């Protein structure tokens, strides 16, 4: 079926059934297409839709909730009163001299006293005072002390010598008593610092201070005696240099001993001329001039090293010292060459490698010089040990003096602290007592009452909005033309009428509504002959009553109208007109003849094609092509064809009928679920059906009044057990239903009978 339905490329509209199966031409109808794309709904309109019909309930519950919330918010908060007192601490301490002296570390002392005011010792003492016991008899437990400390505060007033003590409590009397008790306890503790024990401590600290000063002077004298003419630094330098010289003597002794051992070993082996190198140092052992020259070279080398460090290698003084040292070295070398034969007594000659040959005199010289060096080494070591002992003694006295200095500083600070504590009682005084506050310092009742008002008032409204959001039913007529049906016209609305229509006013209004729907269909459809299918998303929406009422209205307007009952399950149209019989729509479709099975009604220009004996199992005979052939044949004899079908989602025959019709009228009853209607519209779109518009059925009185511009309608609320425009039970022959009945009487110019 769907393969025979195509979309026109230029207008995004489905091709008319006549163009698919032949036998017709484009009518240029302006019937609408359902578009699932929804417009963005404004927030206020959405809120209005969710709360519509519940405004008075929302206002009532909101006011009640706001009152309850404000009452609860006000009652949950307790106002706190704050009492305060001032304590002054003078920055000067009384003295026996003419002028008082400034208190040392005054700012640090202020901060320490600030902490003392709020510590647990002061609070425990405050809870035992008469001021506090006059207002409370609770025991001073740890929990109570912690709770008391949480409400107590002491802060320093900037650029002043005052400490402000405050206490917050829900009772102004308790707040004032607590502050006075804390101040009293603090002043008592401060006064206790000036006691006999403090005086005893002061005497002991002064005695120890004097002893530390005496020990410092004695150790200083001993240290000066120990170091003699040398300073501590010079002693360290002397010991360091002597240790270096001692190492040099030790090396000289070792070298000389090695040469002597080598010479003696050569003589024992019978070697007359052992190869032993003679150095200037060997000559210096026997020649004073050589020794002086070598010492001069060593002094110049040390001087050169210091000058290079201080002045740099290119300084003139450095260059001059280098020249002097080179000249002295050359003179020493020349003297060594000239004097070594004379001094050592060996003849000319050379050994291997150009080394000089030592005579027998050298061995004796080595022995004498070795003994001399050993004696000098012992003497040097003894003197170095004496200097080291002096250094150790000086260090010990210096450590003792450092300890004496630490004791002096320690006892000086302790004496100052004791003196400070003793004088503190005269520097601390209470400026003012705490009085009972008149107004609370912290009162959050207004804020919490306002918060409770907003939350309490908004909660029921929010719940109603949630209920409205979860309620997907169509509740008012303008819902049918809302966001879910974008692009589809609302043809009209039908009132909620009782099954037994007895009010002429109601009947007149109902007839007016049907005529208005018929007029909208005529205006929106420019073709001279049209076939409309009337369907719904579910049963009970009043589609059969609407079909019959529209048929009567079209007939009253002078158009030849044919009603076709294709509802194989309900057959409501056939039953209401009392045209049950063996033949009907099934025979007309299979035989290709229409007029043979059409029956006339008692209304002029209104005919009927009943359902006949067609049952549910005959739904397979219905196809778009067969239905289209039937409608094309009907258009030859009638101007308007109205086809009553079953629900489009629940009946098989409704799909081909809606696809073949020129337009589909979708009936939506108040209370119908939106998803179900959306699904029906989506199904109609998928089969390429043209939707002529929406009819909202079972409208409330306010919807109806708005739709006809103020015409009043006096209808009582229906019972939920009846249908109004549908049927609660199968109607008998000739029972039009309330809407069709109202139109029928309107066409004939009759009025309904009152009960």
CATH (residue range 476-715+737-748): 3.40.50.300
Q: How many whole angstroms separate alpha carbon 715 and alpha carbon 496?
A: 8
Chain position carrying tokens 């740099």? 312
Lowest mean pLDDT of 240-254, 306-320, 436-450, name the range. Answer: 240-254
Residue 473 dihedral angles phi and psi, to the nearest 5°? -80, 155
pLDDT tens for each residue of 101-156: 566 667 787 888 888 888 888 888 888 888 888 888 777 788 888 888 888 998 98
Average the pLDDT over 331-345 and give the result.
74
Radius of gyration of the chain, Cα coordinates, nearest whole angstrom: 63
> pLDDT-based confidence at 38, cuts 50/70/90?
very low
Going edge to edge, which strands form the sheet with 663-669? 490-495, 691-699, 663-669, 530-536, 640-644, 561-565, 606-609, 599-600
Considering 105-114, 192-201, 578-587, 678-687, the range whose residues carry the highest mean pLDDT is 678-687
Q: What is the structure's pLDDT at 560? A: 92
Q: Which two tokens stand for residue 680?
A: 């029906």
Per-residue DSSP letters for 265-318?
A: HHHHTT-SS-B----HHHHHTT-HHHHHHHHHHHHHHHHHHHHHHHH-TTSHHH
Q: What is the structure's pLDDT at 358? A: 47
Q: What is the structure's pLDDT at 503? A: 60
| Residue 2 pLDDT greater than 60, yes or no | no
Q: How many whole angstroms separate alpha carbon 607 and alpha carbon 579?
A: 11
Helix (H) or strand (E) holding 367: helix 360-427
| Residue 642 pLDDT greater than 90, yes or no | yes
> pLDDT-based confidence at 640, cuts 50/70/90?
very high
| Residue 389 pLDDT greater than 70, yes or no | yes
> pLDDT-based confidence at 55, cuts 50/70/90?
confident
Q: How many residues are present in the chain?
A: 755
Taking alpha carbons only, the member of 644, 662, 536 closest to residue 13 is 662
Residue 736 three-state SS:
coil
Lowest mean pLDDT of 410-414, 484-488, 510-514, name the range. Answer: 484-488
Q: Which two tokens stand for residue 167?
A: 């206490």
| Residue 553 pLDDT greater than 80, yes or no | yes
Half-sphere exposure in the Cβ direction for 511 (13 Å, CA): 23
Question: Pick the residue with more confidence: 171 or 50?
Answer: 171
Q: How many whole angstroms separate alpha carbon 690 and alpha carbon 481?
A: 17
Residue 7 three-state SS:
strand
Q: How many whole angstroms separate alpha carbon 650 and alpha carbon 567?
A: 11
Q: What is the structure's pLDDT at 339? A: 74
Q: What is the structure's pLDDT at 286? A: 67
Parallel, antiparallel, or unpaired for β 561-565 and 663-669? unpaired
| Residue 25 pLDDT greater than 80, yes or no | no
Q: What is the structure's pLDDT at 352? A: 39
Q: What is the structure's pLDDT at 752? A: 54
Q: What is the structure's pLDDT at 332? A: 85
Q: Could you give the maximum distance between any two Cα atoms of the chain, in Å?
A: 177
Q: What is the structure's pLDDT at 4? A: 34
Helix (H) or strand (E) holding 492: strand 490-495
Helix (H) or strand (E) holding 327: helix 316-344
The mean of the pLDDT values for the chain is 75
Residue 370: CB atoms within 10 A of its CB come to 17
> pLDDT-based confidence at 641, cuts 50/70/90?
very high
Average the pLDDT over 236-249 and give the result.
75
Average the pLDDT over 621-628 and give the result.
86
| Residue 544 pLDDT greater than 80, yes or no | yes
Exposed, middle or buried: residue 455 (CB in 10 Å: 0-12, 13-18, 19+)?
A: middle
Q: What is the structure's pLDDT at 277? A: 63
Considering 412-416, 500-504, 686-690, the range whose residues carry the highest mean pLDDT is 686-690
Considering 47-61, 425-439, 657-671, the range whose residues carry the highest mean pLDDT is 657-671
> With b meaning 16 or more CB within 10 Å and e meaning fewer, what string describes 684-699?
beebbbbbbbbbbbbb
Average the pLDDT over 515-538 and give the result.
84
Query: Are 168 and 80 within 8 A, CB to CB?
Result: yes
User: Residue 566 to residues 132, 221, 250, 735: CA-CA distances in angstroms?
Assistant: 96, 136, 137, 19
Q: What percent of the chain has pLDDT over 90?
A: 3
Question: Where are the domains positioned within the chain?
Answer: 43-77+444-470, 232-394, 476-715+737-748
pLDDT tens for each residue of 249-283: 788 788 878 877 777 777 677 665 555 666 777 77
Question: Pick the residue with more confidence: 421 or 594?
Answer: 594
Lowest mean pLDDT of 82-86, 244-248, 593-597, 627-631, name the range. Answer: 244-248
> pLDDT-based confidence at 576, cuts 50/70/90?
confident
**pTM given for the model:** 0.47
Average the pLDDT over 430-452 and give the result.
84
């Amino acid at each position: 079926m769907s393969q025979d339905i195509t979309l026109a490329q230029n207008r995004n509209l489905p091709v008319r059934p006549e163009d698919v199966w032949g036998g017709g031409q484009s009518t240029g109808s302006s019937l609408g297409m359902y578009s699932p794309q929804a417009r963005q709904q404004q927030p206020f309109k959405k809120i209005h839709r969710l709360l519509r019909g519940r405004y008075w309930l929302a206002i009532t519950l909101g006011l009640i909730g706001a009152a309850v919330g404000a009452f609860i918010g006000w009652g949950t908060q307790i106002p706190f009163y704050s009492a305060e007192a001032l304590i002054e601490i003078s920055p000067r301490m009384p003295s026996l001299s003419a002028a008082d002296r400034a208190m040392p570390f005054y700012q640090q002392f202020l901060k320490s006293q600030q902490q003392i005011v709020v510590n647990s010792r002061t609070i425990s003492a405050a809870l035992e005072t008469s001021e506090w016991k006059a207002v409370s008899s609770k025991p001073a437990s740890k929990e109570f002390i912690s709770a008391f400390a949480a409400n107590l505060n002491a802060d320093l007033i900037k650029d002043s010598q005052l400490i402000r003590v405050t206490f917050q409590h829900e009772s102004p009397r308790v707040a004032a008593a607590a502050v006075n008790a804390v101040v009293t306890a603090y002043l008592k503790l401060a006064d206790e610092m000036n006691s006999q024990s403090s005086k005893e401590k002061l005497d002991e600290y002064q005695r120890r201070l004097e002893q530390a000063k005496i020990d410092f002077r004695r150790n200083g004298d001993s240290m000066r005696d120990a170091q003699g003419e040398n300073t501590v630094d010079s002693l360290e330098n002397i010991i360091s240099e002597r240790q270096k010289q001692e190492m040099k003597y030790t090396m000289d002794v070792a070298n000389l001993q090695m040469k002597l051992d080598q010479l003696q070993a050569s003589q024992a082996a019978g070697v007359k001329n052992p190869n032993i190198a003679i150095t200037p140092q060997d000559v210096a052992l026997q020649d004073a001039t050589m020794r002086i020259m070598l010492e001069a070279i060593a002094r110049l080398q040390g001087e050169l090293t210091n000058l290079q460090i201080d002045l740099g290698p290119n300084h003139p003084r450095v260059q001059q010292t280098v020249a002097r040292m080179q000249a002295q070295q050359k003179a020493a070398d020349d003297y060594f060459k000239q004097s070594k034969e004379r001094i050592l007594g060996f003849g000319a000659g050379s050994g291997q490698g150009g080394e000089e040959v030592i005579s027998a005199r050298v061995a004796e010289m080595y022995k004498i010089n070795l003994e001399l060096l050993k004696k000098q080494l012992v003497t040097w070591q003894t003197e170095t040990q004496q200097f080291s002992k002096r250094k150790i003694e000086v260090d010990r006295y210096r450590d003792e003096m450092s300890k004496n200095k630490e004791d002096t500083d320690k006892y000086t600070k302790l004496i100052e602290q004791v003196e400070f504590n003793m004088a503190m009682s005269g520097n601390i005084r209470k400026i003012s007592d705490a009085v009972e506050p008149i107004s609370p310092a912290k009162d959050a009742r207004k804020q919490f009452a306002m918060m409770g008002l907003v939350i309490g008032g908004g909660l029921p409204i929010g719940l109603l909005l949630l209920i409205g959001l979860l309620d997907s039913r169509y509740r008012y007529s303008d819902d049918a033309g809302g966001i879910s049906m974008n692009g589809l016209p609302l043809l009209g609305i039908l009132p909620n009428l009782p099954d037994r229509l007895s009010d002429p006013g109601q009947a007149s209004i109902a007839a007016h509504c049907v005529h208005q729907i018929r007029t909208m269909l005529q205006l929106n459809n420019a073709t001279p002959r049209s076939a409309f299918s009337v369907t719904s998303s579910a049963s009970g929406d009043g589609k059969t009553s609407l079909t019959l009422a529209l048929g009567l209205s079209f007939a009253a307007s002078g158009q030849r109208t044919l009603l076709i009952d294709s509802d194989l399950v309900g057959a409501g149209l056939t039953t209401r007109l009392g045209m049950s019989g063996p033949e009907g729509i099934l025979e007309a479709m299979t035989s290709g003849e229409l007029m043979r099975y059409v029956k006339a009604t008692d209304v002029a220009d209104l005919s009927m094609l009943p359902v006949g004996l067609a049952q549910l199992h005959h739904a397979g005979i219905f196809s778009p092509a067969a239905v289209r052939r039937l409608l094309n044949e009907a258009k030859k004899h009638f101007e308007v064809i109205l086809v009553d079908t079953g629900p489009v989602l629940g009946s098989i025959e409704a799909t081909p009928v809606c696809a073949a019709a020129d337009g589909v009228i979708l009936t939506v009853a108040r209370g119908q679920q939106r998803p179900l209607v959306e699904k029906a519209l989506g199904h109609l779109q998928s089969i390429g059906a043209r939707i002529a518009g929406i009819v909202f059925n079972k409208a409330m009185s306010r919807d109806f009044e708005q739709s006809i511009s103020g015409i009043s309608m006096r209808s009582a609320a229906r019972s939920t057990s009846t249908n109004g425009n549908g049927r609660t039970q199968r109607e008998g022959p000739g029972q039009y239903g309330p809407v069709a009945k109202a139109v029928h009487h309107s066409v004939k110019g009759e009025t309904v009978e009152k009960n």
